[in-house]
Structure 1
Amino acid sequence: MTTVAIREQLHRQIDQLPDDVVEQVADFTLFVMARRRLVPDYADWDDAQWRDFALGQLYREDDEVEYSLAEWLQK
């Protein structure tokens, strides 16, 4: 299996995990990076980069809408 295929498989699997397990995966990733003395890409981000990241997560196209505005207004 290629590295790209492994990455894609990990992305799919992580998307299906409960939040507490995702946190454990993130902790393990940071542990491995620290052990190899790798600096996270976001360690030196400024406020604008964090804002762009947050907005990008908010408006990801792969998220499914669970209800419409009309349905919400009917409640």
Structure 2
Amino acid sequence: MSLVLGEFARCIRTGGSILLGFFNGPAGESFPHAVTTAYYWSVDAMSQHLVAAGFEVQEIHARSEAENRPHAAIVAVRTTP
């Protein structure tokens, strides 16, 4: 995850933002998906990865519905040059 978020940080100017959506659950736990193996990430773990890559978390949104996997989204701003 660090490599991917580091590349996002490289491509986004300081002050630029990112909206990252993901399946919310135990960090790094895999599950079968229609296209490929997918992974859960906890909001806390994803937030920590974003901060380590040079972003500041601005907003966190999460939803959980009985018939769907839990989802979350984080809006973060690039803070380091």
TM-score interval for Structure 1 and Structure 2 normalised by the shorter chain = under 0.3
Question: Which structure: greater strand fraction?
Answer: 2
For normalisation by structure 1, the TM-score amounts to: 0.24
Question: Which structure: greater helix fraction?
Answer: 1
For normalisation by structure 2, the TM-score amounts to: 0.23
Larger radius of gyration: 1
